[in-house]
Amino acid sequence: MIHDMRPEYFDLDLKKYGLTFDDGLFSQYYYFPLLKSHPGKLIYFITTSFIKPGKARGMYVGKTLSPLKSKKYMHRTFIEGKFDHFMTTEEVQQLSSQPHVHVGVHSHFHDVILTRTHPGKRKAITPWKLARFKNRSDISAQGLSIRSKLAFQGYDFEDDMLTRRSQVKWEDYIKQDTQLSVEWIANNLGFTPELYCFPFNEHNEKLISILKTFGFKKFYAARPGKSKEVIGRTDIDSLLGN
């Protein structure tokens, strides 16, 4: 599982691993010349709303990029409205044309929702997530977490009130998000996607069952849990001891 590419990743014996890439970041395209000889599949899970029209930029010829941590580029995306750190449509098309490259879906919006459900250890609220809800001071006070808008029913703020999202509204959101992703792949890459990676690695049976109706057949997450349908992944940073 790889997000923004870092030069030290290439000090690892990557040929021992299957490589999956999340979000559709520009660095994943930029460093492709160093990955072309990888013996296995390279699976790029893209968040389709992050991919904007544009020409392909240059690839690696010796100059390294300054890596971005996910909390930094997500803040740039959701709060500042900047997308230059993601691939352009033409860059995704170039990668998709490579014989050992597969493109899968990582949702369309990759957005978050408030929830009181804390499976496992409760996560700290990162600044970009808090900013999505206008830095409301009552979020922490009410014991709320901010998690995947696809995997959790959660709560919305409506008329300055915390309101439980209805089951129908939740399911409609999953269908809308998925339909937009599938349409983007069909319109820009010319095929129906079958591979899906869950945003924030969060999933449940409802989400999986709806995704199947759109033709998805393989599902990926860092934490498969008890699900026999989810393929587990290892964060590449754990191989660096980070």
Residue 217 has pLDDT above 80, yes or no: yes
In degrees and rounded to multiples of 5, residue 24 shows phi and psi of: 85, 40
pLDDT of residue 120: 55
What percent of the chain is modeled with pLDDT above 90? 78
Q: Helices 205-213 & 167-189, crossing angle to 10 degrees?
A: 40
pLDDT value at 173 more than 80: yes
pLDDT tens-digit readout, 94-112: 999 998 999 999 999 999 9
d(CA 176, CA 56): 29
- Averaged confidence pLDDT in the chain: 92
Q: Please list the residues that pair with 195 across neighbouring strands.
A: 218
At 141 the pLDDT is: 59
**For residue 242, what pLDDT is reported?**
55
Q: What is the token pair recorded at 195?
A: 């591979």
List the beta bridge partners of residue 161: 158
Range 178-200 average pLDDT: 98
What pTM value is reported for the model?
0.93
Which phi and psi (to 5°) does residue 119 adopt?
A: -65, 130
Q: Which of 79-83, 104-108, 168-172, 227-231 has the lowest mean pLDDT?
A: 227-231
pLDDT above 70 covers a percentage of the chain that reads 94
What pLDDT score does 225 carry? 82
Distant-in-sequence, close-in-space partners of 209: CB < 8 Å, separation ≥ 6: none
- Poorest-confidence range of 26-30, 159-163, 229-233? 159-163
Report the pLDDT averaged over residues 179-187.
Answer: 98
Lowest mean pLDDT, pick from 152-161, 202-211, 220-229: 152-161
Cβ atoms of residues 241 and 222 within 8 Å: no
List of domains in the chain: 7-110+167-239 (3.20.20.370), 112-164 (no CATH)
CB of 21 closer than 8 Å to CB of 44: yes
For residues 106 and 37, the model is more confident at 106
pLDDT tens, residue by residue, 116-171:
876 555 566 788 998 888 877 667 656 788 999 999 999 987 766 788 999 999 99
Residue 19: pLDDT band by 50, 70, 90 thresholds? very high
> Buried b vs exposed e over 131-149: b needs ≥16 C-beta within 10 Å?
ebbeebeebeeeebbbbbb
